[in-house]
Structure 1
Amino acid sequence: MCTCITYENGDFYFGRNLDLEYSFGERVVITPRKYPLTFKRMESMGRHYGMIGMAAVMEEYPMYAEAVNEKGLCMAGLNFPGNAFYPVAGKKKYQVTPYEVIPWLLGQCSCVSEAVGYLKETDLVGVPFAPEVPLAPLHFMIADRKEAWVAEPVEEGLKLYENPFGVLTNNPPFPFHLMNLRQYLNLTARAPENRFGEGLDMEPFGQGMGAIGLPGDASPASRFVRAAFLRWNSRAPREERANVSQLFHILDSVSMVRGMVLTEEGREDVTTYSCCVNACTGVYYFKTYDNHRIQAVDMRREDLDGRELISYELPLGEDIRTL
């Protein structure tokens, strides 16, 4: 399970929790402009936009969970089991595998409108990286500071939805979340007004009562509502550190604490990492479940005209400062 959000307060930010019961070999990876990107059924890219994000690198291929390119276009894949469908052979102009679609789009598109134009002519095909590496069932959020969209590969084809909330979680499909949010029109960050009965002398007896009914469980539908409510009611100074801190606080509100969610095999589903990238500057911030210190990698401080992947191992042990 995962949660992805956008956030704008001066600069534009894109962040996510990756919730999983195991590590997939993730590391922060920068793909410079001249690193060759190859695709199973598409022409390779010898030159493209530089990008940074969290990825597993297999046979020197960056398999991104999420990334942002140097133009400020962001994209993330989130778990979508039971609904994701990848045909072995597609009928549209572009045939791209799920693990290729992030570098393929971020490599050539500077904004969401360009990416959506490509996606309208794309099939996500069921071609695995290798026989022993099965495809993950995913749907995707793609965003820039102007708009966000959701792409869902289902049996009827690749469905595209404009996302006015700037939030994505997991199942059910996105139209459900759009309808489900309408059940929470009464929520407010302010003190509630008495609507119970006209003339009754009733006042709130504590702070926060305007949001009674905001779901607190870990289900995808509840995390969607909670993240959307906090995102839209967020207030922070228009300053980099305050914005980064605020986005991580929102992500913390929908994170998985070890033991609260168990898989069918009895394994703990936890937030293995949280990330926040300033899409305007290319600075990628992250923290892991066992290391709460916020780390940062600045894509623009590296040689973006290079020909080799640049990667950073994640610091996994807790880093506690003693005063």
Structure 2
Amino acid sequence: MDFPTTTSWRPVFLPRNYHWQTALHTPRTTRYAFLGGGRPAADFSTYLMADGINEGGITCAELYLPGVVSYASDPVADSINLTPQDFINWVLGEHATLAEVVADLPQVTLVARRWGNDPYVYPFHWILSDRSGQTLVIEPTGGPLKAQLNPVGVLTNTPILATHLQNLNDFLKIPGSEFTGRTVTAARDYLQSGAPLPTGTIPTTRFIHMALRRWGTRPMTTTAASLHQIFHWLAEVSLPYDPSRRAELNHNYTHYRAIIDISTATYNFISRKSGRLQQMTLTPEMAAHRHYPHAYAPE
């Protein structure tokens, strides 16, 4: 999770029937508990979530998409008006399935308003998945919101998914812009050849790097091995922190790495500061009996 802010991010649990307020000062109430990486607003009582999983098994994460997003200037009557930073709370707090999210998207208007005292209206696109193995991407590039399938299962910051897929095929010298079996075979062959992976902080490079890692690597045999390997992959594409730039509003660096195990609803979190693993599982008992938000202490 890369973000140009010095606010401390930490694991956060939000319960069922949690009354929260959008940045447009509209009250909303969650129907489903969820767990993810978040931070409190400095000037009103709501948590901003950057990613997470809810009790229905839906995951959602936000990533930058500067230059191409299209938000409404003002709220629209008879619409679900949200700021971009409100979107994950709406997805995870009010939906049990991806199908429900997709069905509700046409009712949503994303409004270009700042969230709390954030200095900017941030341009986002979102990646969503569930226990079926389906992965979707939502990109607000104009017109009613809609979801598209993401066959590669990887997303980074800008550009849009279609351009990422084209860049991946171009790198592997595969004709066309579709992610196909030929792309998978080429990714596996490339990784097994020992050729160097693309490196750097540019999102297009990070996308190709992670797509090659994912599709070129055979499945790990244990959960512990998978966690270790994926955290290593995430470290390879993390953005460095520069203490001398701490006060700069545009210093974008990796605050934490997180892995969500959808099969167990376990959230695995490593902060930049501690480098230690925190693991929390969203159990049915937690969802049913915890009635208040909880921000876990960073370790």
Q: Normalising by structure 1, what TM-score? A: 0.76
Separation in 1, partners of 2:207, 2:118? 33
Which residues of 2 match residues 57-96 of structure 1 at below 5 A? 57-58=40-41, 59-87=44-72, 88-90=74-76, 93-96=79-82
Contact 2:188/2:216 (8 A) holds in 1: yes
Matched residue of 1:275: which SS? strand
Q: Work out whether 1:118 is the aligned partner of 2:104.
A: yes
Provide the rounded CA distance (Å) in 1 between the counterparts of 2:91 and 2:192: 44
Q: Using the alignment, how far apart are the partners of 1:120 and 1:63 within structure 2?
A: 23
Determine which of 238, 241, 263 is the counterpart of 1:255: 238
Q: Which residue of 2 aligns with 1:299?
A: 282
Give percent identity, aligned residues only: 27
Greater relative contact order (CA < 8 Å, ≥ 6 in sequence): 1
- Contact 1:34/1:305 (8 A) holds in 2: no
Preserved contact between residue 78 and residue 138 of structure 1 (Cα < 8 Å): yes
Partner amino acid, structure 1, of 2:49: Y
Q: CA deviation at 1:70?
A: 0.9
Is the Cα contact below 8 Å between 2:20 and 2:27 reproduced in 1?
A: no
- Count of matched residue pairs: 278
- Where 2:84 maps in the other structure, the secondary structure is coil
Listed one character per residue, the Cα deviations across residues 172-202 of structure 1 (whole Å, up to 9, x for unaligned) are 2222112212113354444x7xxxxxxxxxx
Counterpart selection for 2:215 from 222, 232, 242: 232
Residues 278-309 of structure 1, C-alpha deviation per residue, up to 9 Å, x if partnerless? 12222211112232221212232646433311
RMSD: 2.8
Q: Which residue of 2 aligns with 1:52?
A: 35
2:90 is equivalent to residue 104 of structure 1: yes
Quick check: 1:223–1:254 contact (8 Å CA) kept in 2? Answer: yes
Q: Unpaired segments of 5 or more residues in structure 2?
A: 174-185
TM superposition shift of 1:266: 10
Instruction: Confirm or deny: 8 A CA contact 2:36 2:53 kept in the other structure.
Output: yes
Could you say which structure has the higher helix fraction? 2
Q: What is the identity, as a one-letter code, of the residue corresponding to 2:9? A: E
Does the 8 Å CA contact 1:20/1:269 hold for their aligned counterparts?
A: yes
2:128 is aligned with 1:142: yes
1:313 aligns with 2:279: no
Mark the runs of 5 or more structure 1 residues left unpaired by the alignment. Answer: 1-17, 193-207, 316-323
1:17-43 per-residue CA deviation (whole Å, 9 max, x = no partner) reads x12344223121101113223444866
Match of 2:293, as an amino acid?
A: L
CA contact (8 A) 1:97 1:125 kept: yes
Aligned counterparts, 1:269-308, within 5 A: 269-300=252-283, 302=286, 304-308=288-292
Distance 1:132 1:76 in 2: 19
Which amino acid letter does the alignment assign opposite residue 121 of structure 2? L
Q: When you count strand as a share of all residues, which structure comes out higher?
A: 1
- 2:165 corresponds to which residue? 178
Contact 1:236 1:242 in 2 (8 A): no
